Amino acid sequence: MTAFTLAHLSDPHVPPMPEPQWRELLGQRVLGYLNWRRNRHLIHRRDMLDVIVSDMQAQQPDHIAVTGDLVNLALAAEFPRARRWIESVGTPDKVSLVPGNHDAYVRGAPQRFAETFGDYMRSDDTAETRFPFLRIRGPLALIGVSSSVPTAPFMATGSLGDAQLNALNLMLGGLAEAHLFRVLLIHHPLRSAQKMKRLTDSDALQAVLKRHGVELILHGHDHIHSTMWFDGPQRRIPAIGVPSASSIAHGHKPAAAYNLFAIARDGERWRCEHTVRGFGDGNMVHELTRTMLV
């Protein structure tokens, strides 16, 4: 069988950020804006993002997963800019999206995000935008959940909530006999060393995954290369993170990169080869690593 290629990028924080109106700089946004002016506007660059997307498109993936943080402060002017960007990445049938914490930076932002990007986050069988969503693409079942919630200043935690966890439990139970390669898309990693950035109900999500399983988890949020493993019903589940798609290398954070997964059925088992492409030495994107996950 010919492999199905899934690309994964995250946290583009689509630059440049428009200047906010003074009335928009309240609460959480004040601190975020000061941080952007002090250093983040130097870290997140449009030229880096454009090169990453161009290289990814040159690989001709069958589908693209984007795991959140399209905007920075959820300013009104950011949403149409981010919409134009994701349209340049691909059409809604070719791209699946889940929101990040910056996409829900303030009250009202989650609704604006859903209104702007709903067609990239809908299940195949509905015109409504709700989580979890289910999209079947080739041999893949793409399952998107939203961990994005408005938080207090200095916090970047995420949460799914009981309703979403219960719906996910039912959805995964219904997929048990479908013989599809199940990919869970989420912004927050399931394990974090930083309390202020953690997924608060990760234990409950892990319990659902241990009961029903998926073949692969994709996330963003930490802006680093990451591979973690979690318990499933029969085997361990790989959870893969990725650096920001627009970032220069800074501190312990690597430069922009993206993931490619070549997925194919091999008899009774799945095969999944994971390739990382990104900026290494110099200004060119190239292959950084290649590993066999399953």
Give the chain's domain count: 1
Mean pLDDT, residues 120-124 taken together: 97
Q: How many CA atoms lie within 13 Å of 11's alpha carbon, on the beta-carbon side?
A: 28
> 230, 209 in Cβ contact below 8 A?
yes
Q: Report DSSP state, residue 39.
A: I
Per residue in 204-254, pLDDT tens?
A: 999 999 999 999 999 999 999 999 999 999 999 999 999 999 999 999 999
Could you tell me which residues are beta bridge partners of residue 229? 238
> At 58, which amino acid appears?
A
Sequence-distant (≥ 6) Cβ neighbours of residue 18 within 8 angstroms: 75, 77, 78, 81
Could you tell me which residues are beta bridge partners of residue 259? 8, 276
Taking each helix axis from N to C end, the angle separating 78-89 and 109-117, rounded to the nearest 10 degrees, works out to 40
Q: Is the pLDDT of residue 138 over 80?
A: yes
Per residue in 12-40, pLDDT tens?
A: 999 999 988 877 877 778 888 888 889 99
> 80, 137 in Cβ contact below 8 A?
no
> 54, 60 in Cβ contact below 8 A?
no
Element holding 113 (H helix, E strand) = helix 109-117
* Alpha-carbon distance values, 117 to 90, 111, 258 (Å): 12, 10, 21
Could you tell me which residues are beta bridge partners of residue 65? 8, 96
- Residue 164: which domain range? 4-292
> 232, 251 in Cβ contact below 8 A?
no
Helices (H) and strands (E) in the chain, counts: 7, 12
The pTM of the whole model exceeds 0.95: yes
CATH of the domain at 87: 3.60.21.10
> 151, 103 in Cβ contact below 8 A?
no
**Cα gap 145→121, rounded to integer Å:** 9
Provide the pLDDT for residue 1. 65
Per residue in 247-276, pLDDT tens?
A: 999 999 999 999 999 999 988 899 999 999
Residue 152 confidence class, pLDDT cut points 50, 70, 90: confident
**Cα gap 44→40, rounded to integer Å:** 6
Provide the pLDDT for residue 179. 92
Provide the pLDDT for residue 34. 87
Q: Which of 86-95, 120-129, 190-199 has the highest mean pLDDT?
A: 86-95
Per residue in 165-187, pLDDT tens?
A: 999 999 999 998 899 999 999 99
What is the residue-averaged pLDDT of the chain? Answer: 95
**Cα gap 205→169, rounded to integer Å:** 9
